[in-house]
Amino acid sequence: MKKPTVCLIGKPNVGKSTIFNRLIKEDKSIVLDTPGVTRDRVYGNALYNNKPFLLIDTGGIDIGNNEWNKDILVQAKIAIDEADIIVFVVDGKEEIDANDRKVCEILRKTNKKIIVAVNKIDNEKRIDSIYNFYELGFADVIGISATHNLGITNLLNLITKNFQEITDEEDKRLKFCFIGRPNVGKSSLVNALLNEERVIVSDIAGTTRDSTDTVFNYNGEEYVVIDTAGMRKKGRIYENIEKYSLIRSLKAIDRSDVCCLVINAEEGIIEHDKHILSYAVLAGKGIVIVVNKWDTVKNPDQALKTWKDNLASHFMFAPYAKVVFTSAKTKKRIHTLMPEIINAYNNNQKEIKTSDLNEVITKATLMHQAPSYRGKRLKIFFASQTDNKPPKFTFKVNDKGLIHFSYERYLENQIRENFDLTGTPIILKFKNKAED
């Protein structure tokens, strides 16, 4: 099921971030405490009354002339373009000003549903100020206080009124997507994989507007490949803005079991590649890295070691990801892609026997005890797998406050050395023995 997208728009200091944090409090996406994973929280997964949606937070729109304000306005316009519903946040303690009117002017040009959220209505004296904001010309005006959690339920009811609930009907087919910067060859890879021109391909960045699902057969099984958009180029406002290329990718990531990060071998690895992959890691998806356009690399045999070293250095937060070097243009090594996708999927949903897990953990603690802290030492009484997609392991311990990140990393490495979990993140959670 495709999630609707909701974005928060408004001038600075109206409380958008506080509202954002309130609305994603039921966020079911997985957060990994892993060094190197980017956490610029411009988006989040929200769930209300069993109705999920993607929430986008934006910077405050200011009519000032500095370049920073212009960039924020550009990003906000892209978020507006992607949204199904827009929450226009205003400050209930202030009068309507030029910045509010600027936002209003932008929103009037859209055909989107607009909800005006009058924030900071935290006492009865301010309730009457809500009516001032009907002057903006939008029918849905609601008073809230994000700080005091007042009116948030009413806001969520209004946002999700026409959203679909999650159903028990689940598509069991493996779904995977290609994510990456514009013009790295995502659509070409889909075509090469399908061995037909099923998806439009162009050298112009931003040709793909929305994600496209295609069903195909491989070794007698049905699979779904999702070709995600890079970034639509619509006039100057989209030029050189890659941050919001993530918005479209996020929707595909959420619906996928495995995410394939596509890197352009002509350009090499850049910081934005790491950002994009981090979202898939945070979502707990199976991971495959695809270095495309390998046919453009001179002396590929010599370049291979350098590339592997660079990948290991840049993607230290996902050392478990398998890398495929291929060319969509020549289809060289394209046959190596599906086996890695399937392997990442299988490992992402793998279940490990409790007895086997505890045997590994017992041996690991005997080989290398946890360091002592103020005369106390961590003791692990029991370990079990408590979830999958991705695998989650819960440890019962004497004091979870004694966990050091280095020892947690050691335990993860021991688990990975004994069980094939290639291509998937894993989560380690520690609970005191007395906890439920």
Q: Which of 50-54, 105-109, 123-127, 188-192 is the least confident region?
A: 123-127
Place 212 in a pLDDT band, splitting at 50, 70 and 90: low
Percent of the chain whose predicted confidence (pLDDT) is above 90: 54
pLDDT value, residue 122: 85
Reduced to 3 states (helix: H, G, I; strand: E, B; else coil), residue 287 is strand
Reduced to 3 states (helix: H, G, I; strand: E, B; else coil), residue 432 is strand
Q: Tally Cβ neighbours within 10 Å of residue 107.
A: 18
Radius of gyration of the chain (CA): 24
> What is the greatest pairwise CA distance in the chain?
74
Q: Tally Cβ neighbours within 10 Å of residue 217.
A: 9
Q: Which position has the higher pLDDT, 235 or 380?
A: 380
Reduced to 3 states (helix: H, G, I; strand: E, B; else coil), residue 141 is strand
The model's pLDDT over 296-348, given as tens digits with 9 standing for 90+, comes to 999 988 999 999 999 999 999 999 999 999 999 999 999 999 999 999 999 99
pLDDT value, residue 37: 43
Does the bond joining 52 to the residue before it have cis omega, within 30 degrees of 0? no
> Which has the closest alpha carbon to 284: 118, 93, 37, 67?
37
Strand locations in 94-250 (E): 113-119, 140-143, 174-179, 212-218, 221-227
Place of tokens 């398998």: 322
Q: Assess whether pLDDT exceeds 70 at residue 353.
A: yes
Phi, psi of 172, deg, nearest 5: -80, -10
CB proximity list for 422: less than 8 A, separation 6 or greater? 320, 322, 343, 344, 347
Q: Tally Cβ neighbours within 10 Å of residue 362.
A: 12
Place of tokens 């946890």: 370
> Which has the closest alpha carbon to 41: 13, 60, 17?
17
Please, what is the end-to-end C-alpha distance for the chain in angstroms? 33
Helix/strand/coil (H, E, C) string of 314-336?
Answer: HCCCCCCCEEEECCCCCCCCHHH
The count of residues in the chain is: 436
Does the bond joining 390 to the residue before it have cis omega, within 30 degrees of 0? yes
Mean pLDDT of 271-275: 87
The tokens describing 282, both together, are 């945070």
CB proximity list for 162: less than 8 A, separation 6 or greater? none
pLDDT value, residue 356: 97
Q: Which of 95-109, 123-137, 226-240, 349-363 is the least confident region?
A: 226-240
| C-alpha of 118 from chain center | 29
Q: Which position has the higher pLDDT, 257 or 200?
A: 257
DSSP state of 195: T
The model's pLDDT over 239-263, given as tens digits with 9 standing for 90+, comes to 445 555 667 778 788 889 999 999 9
Mean pLDDT of 412-419: 97
- Rounded CA-CA distance 42/200 in Å is 30
Residue type, 130: I
Decide: 29 and 78 in contact? Cβ < 8 Å: no
The rounded mean pLDDT for the chain is: 85
Place 166 in a pLDDT band, splitting at 50, 70 and 90: confident
DSSP state of 371: P
Q: Which residues of 113-148 are buried (b: 16+ CB within 10 A; e: fewer)?
A: bbbbbbbbbbeeeeeebbeebeebebebbbbbbbee
Concatenating the DSSP letter of every residue in 22-91 gives HHTTT--S-----TT-----SEEEEEETTEEEEEEE-PPP----SHHHHHHHHHHHHHHHH-SEEEEEEE
> Which has the closest alpha carbon to 337: 294, 283, 284, 274?
294
Reduced to 3 states (helix: H, G, I; strand: E, B; else coil), residue 155 is helix
CB proximity list for 434: less than 8 A, separation 6 or greater? none
CB proximity list for 254: less than 8 A, separation 6 or greater? 3, 45, 54, 283
| C-alpha of 166 from chain center | 19
Q: Tally Cβ neighbours within 10 Å of residue 295.
A: 15
pTM of the full structure: 0.76
Mean pLDDT of 84-100: 93
